[in-house]
Chain A
Amino acid sequence: MPLTAYLIVSAVIFTIGVIGVLIRRNPLIIFMSIELMLNAVNLSFVALSHFLDSVDGQMFVFLVLTVAAAEVVVGLALIVSIFRTRHNIDVDEMNVLRG
């Protein structure tokens, strides 16, 4: 298959990710859309690395993977913490009402 074919698949997935970021409101799904974008870029890199006959592109993919994992850790920790503070507030209010 020619390089262009892979690049177009990658462009389509990237675009789907961008649309997801723009139209979805749930931060978790926005996060998943961003993962789609990153993976589209990774596909480009692997395809380019194959056709350029160089390992540099794969290096990019590997490190992007690592960064993405770290990003998910920070982002999800934040989402959980937001959820927990809001939840806690609710619980406190209930206590006030009962007391």
Chain B
Amino acid sequence: MTFEIVSFVVLAVATVATAIGVIAFKNAIHSALSLILTLLFLALFYLQLQAMFIAVVQILIYAGAIMVLFLFVVTMLASDQDELALRNQIPWQRMVGGLLGLILVAALSYLLFTGAQVTGTTASHAESLKQAITTYQGDTQAFGMALFHGFLFPFEVTSLLIVVAILGALVFGRRTN
């Protein structure tokens, strides 16, 4: 029990620290590296929550694929960061942003301490997750059953989404003559 608490606290502190790093670093490369660390720590959180499959997918897709793409673009554009800056920034935006953030943290944690409650029992589509984990020694089988059975519809629509994403990338990526 104490090990669980210690590991949770260490992970939580590490995750939050690296997350702050993402938005605090001046250099986008440092931000990206910090984000990779955050994602890895989150994967450890998932392991702690017995979500093996999601943890592995998190590392493979997020830390592996998405962040590589990010790093690729960041390094490619490294010299021209300022050119890309968006306009329409209001001078006091930083302060207001920070203030709003503090209020949001306070409000959310207050709510979560006082109001959080779990009333539902089990999912509408799948058997009990804990039971599945002990029966199959992992949640991957329960996950697969749910994904290709109860959640077939959104899963199939995702395929359309990917076609559209490819098309969008193609439209933007094509050279203009």
Using a CB–CB cutoff of 8 Å, the interface residues on chain A facing chain B are 1, 3-9, 11-20, 22-29, 31-33, 35-36, 39, 42-43, 46-56, 58-59, 61-63, 65-74, 76-83, 85-87
A36 to B54, CA, bound (A): 17
Say whether B73 contacts A76, CB under 8 Å: yes
Q: Which of A4, A55, A56 contacts B112 (CB 8 A)?
A: A4
Q: In this complex, what residue of B is CB-closest to A78?
A: B172
Q: Which of B48, B94, B143 contacts A55 (CB 8 A)?
A: B143
Please name all residues of chain B whose beta carbon is closer than 8 Å to the beta carbon of A79 when the two chains form the complex. 73, 77, 84
Say whether B15 contacts A29, CB under 8 Å: no
A-B contact count (CB 8 A): 246
- Chain B interface size band reads 35 or more
A76 to B66, CA, bound (A): 10
Instruction: Give B125 Cβ to nearest chain A Cβ, in Å.
Output: 7
Please name all residues of chain B whose beta carbon is closer than 8 Å to the beta carbon of A26 when the two chains form the complex. 28, 81, 84-85
Q: In this complex, what residue of A is CB-closest to B62?
A: A65
Say whether B85 contacts A56, CB under 8 Å: no
Say whether A76 contacts B108, CB under 8 Å: no
A-B complex: 10 closest residue pairs judged by Cβ atoms: A54-B123, A20-B23, A22-B97, A70-B165, A77-B169, A11-B108, A19-B101, A77-B172, A81-B172, A50-B49
Say whether B161 contacts A66, CB under 8 Å: yes
Say whether A86 contacts B83, CB under 8 Å: yes
